[in-house]
Amino acid sequence: MRFYPMFFNAVFRRMDPERAHHLGFLAVRAAKFAGPIARGVCGPDAQLRVKTMGLVFPSPFGIAAGFDKNAEGILGLGALGFGHVEVGTVTRHAQPGNEAPRMFRLIEDRALVNRMGFNNGGSAAAVPRIEQARLSKHRPIIGANIGKSRVTEVDAAADDYVYSAERLAPISDYLVVNVSSPNTPGLRGLQELSSLGPLLTQIKQAAGNTPLLVKIAPDMDDEQLTGIVQLAVELGLQGIIATNTTVSREGLQASAERIEEIGAGGLSGEPLRARSLEVLQRIREVAPDPEFCVISVGGVASPEDVFERLRAGATLVQGYTGFIYEGPLWARAVNRGLVRLGFRGNAAP
């Protein structure tokens, strides 16, 4: 585990972050083809199993949306120890995303800034890949994260989401409505209750019996956050994912010149840790029912970070940026750390 950070410092930090991400996918593909060997080395202990939303997750720790945008690494990521893989964000229309460069490292902050812009091949193209992954008896839980296409006007956003939901809900274990990325114009405006209620109602109908969650931003006040949680409960959603990346740049160690040079985008990693935990705690104040699934994401890197979220009321925990800094054995280290810390899931044998 310690070898990878040294390798990262020597090699990957000099490489364009998006190119490094694509190279990192080689390890994911290798894990898929390694099959039983990878699972034997990285597979989570049975005591970590968690039951929620009518599903049994092999581990409470999963990979957040954004890493596997096109559902190409599901089995490999599962073999590396992630209990669930959330693919996407996918949109109705295939789109290239924003102009490169669009991903940046803040190494001193153990953070990333990205303005990828939902680059993906479209929701229909993801269908056969998810269907293929579902054939494996060793697959992780599969979530599908859906968003609005850039070419679609905000007033017509519901049509985009419903199109993707109708195709992905029948083959996914759960579905996530992303209204919180800062990199698609007008998207975060859909978090306003007057827009969000009708939108979620239509998507829920399209999703049928597939568990539905909504992913929210960290950049909102308590009143807005409370309103969204109450709405999710009232509409019968199965949960909330908190949080997406932040537009804040407060408290960074990186220089002001470097931050200005990078420009706009969502910040993830260590700087998001405190706010993400605050949002989790606030959600649990409003929705204390353990049957309501809360997936906490943002600023988790170590087993202790994940354990802290679980003790604070998270049902599950996701990571993304930590994979960049900790490497392909990250989930293995987190799972083993959770066993060491004494975590025992509610579906443990």
Cβ atoms of 103 and 116 within 8 Å: the answer is yes
Contact between 287 and 229 under an 8 Å Cβ cutoff? The reply is: yes
**326 close to 4: Cβ distance less than 8 angstroms:** yes
Query: How far is it, in rounded angstroms, from Cα 186 to Cα 50?
Result: 36
Q: Residue 334 is which amino acid? A: V
Q: Which of 59, 181, 268, 276 is catalytic?
A: 181
Residue 204 half-sphere exposure, CB side, CA atoms within 13 Å? 18
Max Cα distance, the chain (Å): 53
Distance of alpha carbon 159 from alpha carbon 135, whole angstroms: 30
> Is residue 181 annotated as part of the catalytic site, yes or no?
yes
Give the up-direction half-sphere exposure of residue 79: CA atoms within 13 A in the CB hemisphere: 19
Query: H or E element: which one contains 304?
Result: helix 303-311
- Look at residue 127 and give its three-state secondary structure: helix
Write the CB contacts of 36 (distance below 8 Å, at least 6 apart in sequence). Answer: none
The pair of structure tokens assigned to 262 is 């990078």
Tokens of 344: 């025992």
Contact call for residues 104 and 112 (beta carbons, < 8 A): yes
Q: Which amino acid type is present at position 150?
A: R
CB of 68 closer than 8 Å to CB of 130: no
**Displacement of CA 100 from its chain's centroid (Å):** 22
Contact 307, 338 (CB under 8 A): yes
- Angstrom CA distances, 127 to 66, 69, 143, 216, 331, stand at 17, 12, 12, 25, 26
d(CA 323, CA 306): 14
Catalytic residue IDs: 181
